[in-house]
Amino acid sequence: MGVPNSREYHYYHAPSAPFKIIVKTRNEPLKKECPKWKSEYPMTEGQLRSKRDEFWDTAPAFDGRKEIWDALRAAALAVECNDLELAQAIVDGACITLPHGSLTESYDELGNRYQLPAYTLAPPINLITETSSDCKVSDCTQKQAQASPCREDFQLRVRLSTGKDVRLTASMADSIAELKKQLEEREDIEVTRQRWFFSGKLLTDKTRLQDAKIQKDFVVQVIVNINPSVITN
């Protein structure tokens, strides 16, 4: 007769069969305590989720049965949500035996052994909590990183009415107003004294280089007025 609340697996050695040993596993109820562990490096909640997903996606390739791995994943999620009753029901329904009352080690009814790493059951003690401010900074950084590759700077050739050529750092998204300020910083020519022309047309401050189809090999004419009061743009 077997031990109450336990599972027994009897194996024997026959001349025509491989040698097997007797495995006797006691089934303990699932305990509330979760494993405490520390990551080698502080990880965020997102990194922890990625690490877990990677394990569960590859777990069926290990020894054991896929349906048992799926049940263990559901039970682990229930434990993390502090729903011990649901986790126990999942374990019992899948006929999973827990020798130590923990999901870290378990057996199915065929005697296959399953081991779960601590990070699938509980977060590390050095988990980095992602606050809302951190998320905003992260989103801002990500947007900047995404926007940077879109800006392709080139040297815009500007020919002043004084006969001097100046090269400004520009992009197709820059407006004439922005380039006027850059020219003011470079040549000390006030914005109110500048009138920009391309192909004989006056360029307004709101015009962007892409709107006027101005490229890096083109030359923009800039008339520098002595009397800024006569400029209307």
Region 31-52: mean pLDDT is 86
Domain boundary at 120, 139, 170, which?
Answer: 120
Q: Is 143 helix (H, G, I), strand (E, B) or coil?
A: helix
Q: How confident is the model at residue 151 (pLDDT cuts 50, 70, 90)?
A: low
- pLDDT of 2 higher than 60: no
Residues 108 and 199 in one domain: no
Of the candidates 120, 134, 44, 138, the one whose C-alpha atom is nearest the C-alpha of residue 75 is 120
Region 148-160: mean pLDDT is 77
Region 164-190: mean pLDDT is 92
Phi/psi of residue 74, nearest 5 degrees: -65, -40
- pLDDT of 113 higher than 60: yes
More confident residue, 61 or 3: 61
Residue 142 lies in a domain: no
The two structure tokens encoding residue 61: 């390739």
**pLDDT tens-place string over residues 4-15:** 444 544 444 444
Residues 161 and 97 in one domain: no
Q: How confident is the model at residue 230 (pLDDT cuts 50, 70, 90)?
A: very low
Tell me the residue range of the domain where 31 lies.
6-120
Residues 11 and 116 in one domain: yes
Residue 134 lies in a domain: no
Q: How confident is the model at residue 43 (pLDDT cuts 50, 70, 90)?
A: confident
Region 75-82: mean pLDDT is 85
**pLDDT tens-place string over residues 188-225:** 999 999 999 988 788 999 999 988 888 778 899 999 88
Residues 106 and 198 in one domain: no
Residues 111 and 167 in one domain: no
Domain count within the chain: 2
Q: Which residue has the tokens 């050529």?
A: 165
Residue 170 lies in a domain: yes
- pLDDT of 143 higher than 70: no
Of the candidates 62, 68, 56, the one whose C-alpha atom is nearest the C-alpha of residue 94 is 68
Of the candidates 9, 5, 29, 2, the one whose C-alpha atom is nearest the C-alpha of residue 109 is 9
